[in-house]
A and B are shown apart, each in its own frame.
Chain A
């Protein structure tokens, strides 16, 4: 890191990453996100330092001409890194200069496993990726498979999917609030967030049979119809949550410690977010109104009324606030879905894709054969490739499936939102205090199962 650049050179260097000429590509008048430049002047070398690309384990401290710098390893076994994230942090006194996330400690080889499972078994695999929003993963995978099959699921299945994924968004954001609170020291938030989440998980367990990793949304519809009495359960959630959210506001909004530890901390700009492919609440906290439910609607979500909450400061407080407001919006979508829930089939009536109803197996030999064939060798999907993205609680969750005409995908790739969002950590944490590290990580809400897959 012996940087021989003189002061004059630093001034003339482009502030963007190597290779791009001075704002040539970013001089895009048609965007309305303001000037397409980063806000402050910094040399390319400094930016690369912030990207963390020049840190390695055997870092030469002597070359720095600075006795104050030291590398601190945080994780992979650390209570505030949300799993097994490891950070190499270069500290100068109490100030974080550079950060390098080291990931892969939860790499499960799911993309390889997906090539061994049939298209019907696929959701069992993808549901374990982002374990806080499993239904979104299943939805994304199922939509991709349905796109390759060129089938459209019935209205009731679509509405059930919207209902379940929005409930899942609420439960995921509740955990994000809970852990965010716990990491900063508001331990009560942890207890409250998990308490409300249990209510939604109870409904999930009643509907899908499991509290997590449901394998409920499958290609062709959903696995089972909503249970009897589901309206009372959902209504109870709708009635209970808004007053509880007000309690959260009482607890946090008027709390000077909470506000002091979140406002102006972990700031990122919209230009950086777009350049790094960062999506979800982090992007919206910078003021960009970008939600895939509005931009590329799926499952009939365009027929629901909801707003996309945006922030402006791009700090931890804004991201927390957006999550709270998104819970309110999701509650509205859940209510609309409950009110309009159409009758009809909850899955496709296509015996090549979905198993026949249980009662028909006793009566019809063909039904038995179809049932057997679907669960042993699966259904074949025409050759092709497709990419489908949904808005998960963390951002753009994409599924890229390549089929070669067999019953198993030739390649299944998941565009994990947490994986790309993690690239923003070095930017957010540059030149901030080490005490703000956990607040920043928690506000990003990374799920390591989603990062490492």
Chain B
């Protein structure tokens, strides 16, 4: 359930110059937020930022032109990373034809993150799915409840410590059919 303290914190060598994308919308955004780290993942713009600055950054991104939230999901880095969860928010700017992905590491002990529903109401279902599958809670969400699983379901299926729940298949003992 908790973060794994045995995994050492990855100390990335501090680059002399903060990496920044080509001049444009995303660079303007990053210049407003010192803590946000940008990198390019197979040609796609990715920004890593903390949960405390997520709402502020998202509001600035929306004002800057990312008028649509495409997708909200999460990744469970169980026993892979020190900070267990990572929220993934995909933004889209239709006017500038740009995509931006926000990665927000979230510790398992306080798996809480501000909801983006106030900015993009379309985040509603995506955040409910993340809550349902990972147990990450969204502060300020209008209706945070299970969406795919039954209401009385226990556990969060997409966490890595949740078993697949497969039933062993045994054909050997099957009786012969005439």
Contact = CB atoms under 8 A, between A and B. Distances in A.
Interface of A: 17-20, 24-25, 28, 30-31, 48, 51, 53-54, 103-104, 107, 109, 111-113, 116, 147-148, 150, 274-278, 288, 290, 295-296, 384-387, 389, 396, 398, 400, 402, 404, 410-411, 413, 415, 419-420, 422-423, 452-453
Given A385-B41, A387-B99, A104 B147 contact: yes
Contacts of B120: 275-277
Interface string B143-166: 100111110000001100000110
Given A18-B142, A288-B94, 18 more contacts: A19-B118, A25-B59, A28-B67, A53-B143, A103-B147, A107-B148, A112-B157, A274-B68, A277-B120, A278-B122, A295-B97, A296-B97, A386-B41, A386-B44, A404-B80, A413-B73, A423-B121, A452-B148
Residue of B75, B80, B124, B125 with most chain A CB atoms under a 10 A cut-off: B125
29 contacts: A17-B118, A24-B63, A28-B67, A51-B121, A54-B143, A104-B146, A104-B149, A107-B148, A116-B164, A147-B42, A274-B94, A275-B122, A277-B70, A277-B122, A288-B94, A290-B94, A384-B42, A386-B41, A387-B99, A389-B70, A400-B73, A400-B88, A404-B80, A411-B76, A413-B88, A415-B71, A419-B129, A420-B71, A423-B122
A419 B97 contact: no
B124 A51 contact: yes
A277 B67 contact: no
B121 A275 contact: yes
B95 interface: yes
A396 B150 contact: no
Given A104-B149, A275-B122, A17 B117 contact: yes
B42 A415 contact: no
A277 B93 CA distance: 11
Interface in B32-50: 41-42, 44, 46
Nearest to A413: B73
A420 B122 contact: yes
A423 B125 contact: yes
A53 B44 contact: no
A423 B124 contact: yes
Given A31-B95, A411-B76, A276 B62 contact: no
Nearest to A17: B121
Residue of B147, B150, B164 with most chain A CB atoms under a 10 A cut-off: B147
Contacts of B75: 385, 402, 410-411
A2 to B, nearest CB: 17
B112 interface: no
Contact of A25 (B69, B95, B101, B119): B119
Given A31-B67, A104-B147, A387-B99, A400 B90 contact: yes
A136 B99 CA distance: 21
Given A107-B149, A112-B164, A398-B71, A420 B126 contact: yes
B69 A277 contact: yes
Nearest to B140: A19
A411 B88 CA distance: 12
Nearest to A52: B143
A18 B142 CA distance: 9
B65 interface: yes
Contacts of B73: 400, 413, 415
Contacts of B118: 17-20
A400 B142 CA distance: 26
